[in-house]
Amino acid sequence: MDVSWFFPIAGLITLFSAYLVWSNVLRGGVQDHHPRYESLLMTLQSLATFFTLTGTVLLQPISSHDIHFTLVAAAATATLFVQAMYLFGLLRHGIQGLGLFLLPVIAVLLLLMPFFPEDSSTGIIHTSSILHTSHLLISMLAYAVLTMTTFYAVMHLLLDQALKRKRIHPVIQAMPPLMKLEKLMISLLQWSVWLIALSILTGLTWQWIDFANFALFSHKVLLALFSFGVLFWLLNHQKKAAWHGRRTSQLIITAYALMLLAYFGVHLIQAWLH
């Protein structure tokens, strides 16, 4: 079965959701989220998540014997995690302006999914070990949480800059208050640090059990370790010195860029050059 059309459908639904969020904000409906509007957005995102889930499952990345992730399957899984987290955020916190930035990015990624290399020779991970499988899934979850953290960091930078310049655009008004935004960002940062640490630990343990050595000098391990170091130092410094502000957001974005390169960037380049 050709499953490639599931992702563009999810992308179109997500793109329409982004249009609804942007149009509502630009019309000045920041403070007036009607239940019908919120219900429609929730329904649309549930449908988009369902189509992404269906497409991911039909790719059959998980069999009764092992897990085989191609570039498409890995990207679809990570996107699905991000969609699920956003949907959970809608249920718990309501519309907080995150969709203004997150939804268009998700939509573009889903629409481009059919154009990713699909040859089995471009598979990223092929594993039959429970430990390796756990490492893979934890890594995908860590990436998803750090993705959400990064979008909050971007919002924090934009809001901080707008307040300093005293230019309050309707898009800025749609965001949470600065203190609440910062609290959400730091909370997700804590989860990111713990999940990345667990991902690195399970990865090194798997390497030692299966190969009796640590592949510490691979680009993936080095970038992940450096990203973890930056985020751990940032979180520790933030707790001790109550260090907030633009630099916190900038370092989160930098660490995310390194993680994105470690998990997908190099593999995508190799796949296209294959």
pTM of the model: 0.82
Domain boundary among 118, 150, 178: 118
Same domain, 57 and 144: no
Task: Name the percent of the chain lying above pLDDT 90.
Answer: 26
Same domain, 134 and 270: yes
Residue type, 188: L
Residue 176: DSSP 8-state: P
Q: Same domain for 87 and 165? A: no
| Mean pLDDT confidence for 148-172 | 85
Range 120-143 average pLDDT: 71
218 and 172, same structural domain? yes
Q: Which CB contacts under 8 angstroms, 24+ apart, belong to 171-176?
A: 171/25, 171/26, 171/97, 171/100, 173/25, 173/30, 173/31, 174/25, 174/30, 174/97, 174/100, 175/96, 175/97, 176/96, 176/97
SS3 state of residue 19? helix
For residue 273, what pLDDT band results from cuts at 50, 70 and 90?
Answer: very low
**Which of 82-86, 111-115, 207-211 is the least confident region?**
207-211
Name the residue among 182, 6, 22, 162 with its Cα closest to residue 102.
22
Domain boundary among 62, 85, 118: 118
Total domains in the chain come to 2
Taking the CA of residue 102 as centre, how many other CA atoms within 13 Å lie in the half-sphere pointing to its CB?
Answer: 29
Last residue of a domain, one of 73, 91, 118: 118
- The answer, yes or no, to whether residue 63 has pLDDT greater than 80, is no
**Which residues have C-beta within 8 Å of that of residue 212, sequence separation ≥ 6?**
none
The owner of tokens 């992702």 is: 7
Task: Specify the pLDDT at position 263.
Answer: 66
The answer on 137 and 32 residing in a single domain is: no
Model confidence at 216, pLDDT cuts 50, 70, 90, reads low
Give the residue numbers spanning the domain of 231: 127-274
Question: Dihedral through CA 170, CA 172, CA 177, CA 183, nearest 10?
Answer: 150
Check whether residue 137 and residue 260 sit in a common domain: yes
74/113 same-domain check: yes
* Rg value, the chain, Cα: 19
> In this predicted structure, what is the pLDDT of residue 233?
87
In a shared domain, residues 190 and 160: yes
Banded model confidence at residue 121, pLDDT cuts 50, 70, 90: very low
Indicate if the pLDDT at residue 111 is higher than 60: yes
Quick one: 133 exposed, middle or buried, by C-beta within 10 A (0-12, 13-18, 19+)? middle
Task: Check whether residue 89 and residue 210 sit in a common domain.
Answer: no
Do residues 133 and 263 share a domain? yes
Sign of the Cα pseudo-torsion (93, 94, 96, 97, in order): positive
Phi then psi dihedrals of residue 95, to 5 deg: -80, 115
Identify the residue with better confidence: 108 or 118: 108
